[in-house]
């Protein structure tokens, strides 16, 4: 939760700096945010590629393990589509793009803001990007706080599915504690696959 609060703090700081115009105007140009996006993509690849357990995970993959990240992705997209029926302001594809962040709030929010700018305009795209940021932060917080209840009522795989892309890092300690050490491998494998799906699903739904 501490990491999520720090992210929110930086987001609020960025809003304040942008509003007060204390930063050089060159930093507010569109190209700068594109470079930030490139850096985030590089960081994703770096973090996954440098994981010492990656070779072990890849060599231990069994077909049935794919069902866990698949359940997370399909369940999230179905829930996002259902939520769109209750919201008139945003289309189903917009809601699917937000849901496709799978708790990876930093990357999904920037992707959505950049990709929807052409069709929605700068202000509305930024609003949707902010919704993606907050929705995916809340998902991580719910996974962290709700893990004991998820295990009790839905089984040991429930916190992993709830954690989305964060199960390879921030929510892993909680999952290990409440789901058991034998679920660590599944949690990391799940997090890697869901993490890698974000740069594909978000642009896909933003293009529709």
Per-residue pLDDT tens listing for the chain (208 residues): 555 566 667 667 776 776 776 666 655 555 566 666 567 657 656 666 666 666 666 666 677 788 999 999 999 999 999 999 999 899 999 999 999 999 988 889 889 998 998 889 889 999 999 999 999 989 988 998 889 999 999 999 999 999 999 998 888 888 888 888 778 888 888 998 999 999 999 999 999 9
88 belongs to a structural domain: yes
Q: Is residue 13 part of a domain?
A: no
Assess if residue 2 is contained within a domain: no
Specify if 139 maps to a domain: yes
Name the pTM for this structure: 0.77
In a domain, 164, yes or no: yes
Q: Flag whether 110 is in a domain.
A: yes
Structural domains counted in the chain: 1
For residue 131, the enclosing domain spans 31-206
Asked whether residue 53 is assigned to any structural domain, the reply reads yes
- 2 token code pair: 């501490």
Choose among 167, 117, 108, 180: nearest CA to 140.
167
Residue 12 in any domain: the answer is no
């Amino acid at each position: 939760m501490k990491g999520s609060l720090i992210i929110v703090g930086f987001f609020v700081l960025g809003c304040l700096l942008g509003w007060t115009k204390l930063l050089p105007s060159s930093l507010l140009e569109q190209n700068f945010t594109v470079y930030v996006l490139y850096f985030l993509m590089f960081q994703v690849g770096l973090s996954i590629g440098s994981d010492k357990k990656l070779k072990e995970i890849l060599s231990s993959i069994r077909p049935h393990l794919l069902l866990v990240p698949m359940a997370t992705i399909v369940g999230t997209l179905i829930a996002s589509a259902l939520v769109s029926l209750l919201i008139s302001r945003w289309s189903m594809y917009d809601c699917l793009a937000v849901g496709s962040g799978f708790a990876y709030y930093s990357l999904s929010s920037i992707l959505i803001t950049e990709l929807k700018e052409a069709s929605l305009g700068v202000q509305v795209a930024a609003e949707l990007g902010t919704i993606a940021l907050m929705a995916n932060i809340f998902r991580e917080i719910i996974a962290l706080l709700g893990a004991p209840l998820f295990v009790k009522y839905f089984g040991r795989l429930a916190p992993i599915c709830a954690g989305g892309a964060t199960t390879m890092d921030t929510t892993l300690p909680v999952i290990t504690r409440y789901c058991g050490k034998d679920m660590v491998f599944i949690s990391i494998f799940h997090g890697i696959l869901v993490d890698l799906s974000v740069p594909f699903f978000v642009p896909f739904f933003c293009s529709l």
